[in-house]
Amino acid sequence: MIEPQEFYVETPLAKAMFKLMQELERRLGLTTEVDVCLAGGMTAQLYTCSRSSSDIDAEFSRSFTVPKAS
C-alpha cells in the first residue's frame, strides 16, 4: 500500500510561494481554475524541506499575460 505523502507547506519558502500564487490569481482576475505543475527546487522543498530555491519552475494549464503590478 502506498503511504500518503505529507508536504512541507508551513515553511517560509512554501508560504511565500503560496502568497505569490495568490497574487498572480488576483492580478489575472481568474474566475476559473488553472492547473499548475511545479518542478525543480520548489518541488524538492515541498517534498523534503531540504532544498531552497530562488525561482519557481511551473507549467500552467492555460496561457495568459500577467499584467504589471499597479
pLDDT of amino acid 62: 93
Domain presence at residue 29: yes
Domain presence at residue 69: no
Which position has the higher pLDDT, 19 or 68?
19
Report the 3 state secondary structure along the chain: CCCCCCCCCCCHHHHHHHHHHHHHHHHHCCCCCCCEEEEHHHHHHHHHCCCCCCCCEEEECCCCCCCCCC
Domain presence at residue 19: yes
What mean pLDDT is reported for the chain?
A: 90
Q: How many domains, in total, are found in the chain?
A: 1
Separation of alpha carbons 16 and 45, rounded Å: 12
Range of the domain at 17: 12-60
Confidence of residue 53 (pLDDT cuts 50, 70, 90): confident
Confidence of residue 46 (pLDDT cuts 50, 70, 90): very high
Domain presence at residue 4: no
pLDDT of amino acid 12: 93
pTM of the predicted model as reported, rounded to 2 decimal places:
0.81
Please, which residues bridge with residue 38 across strands? 58
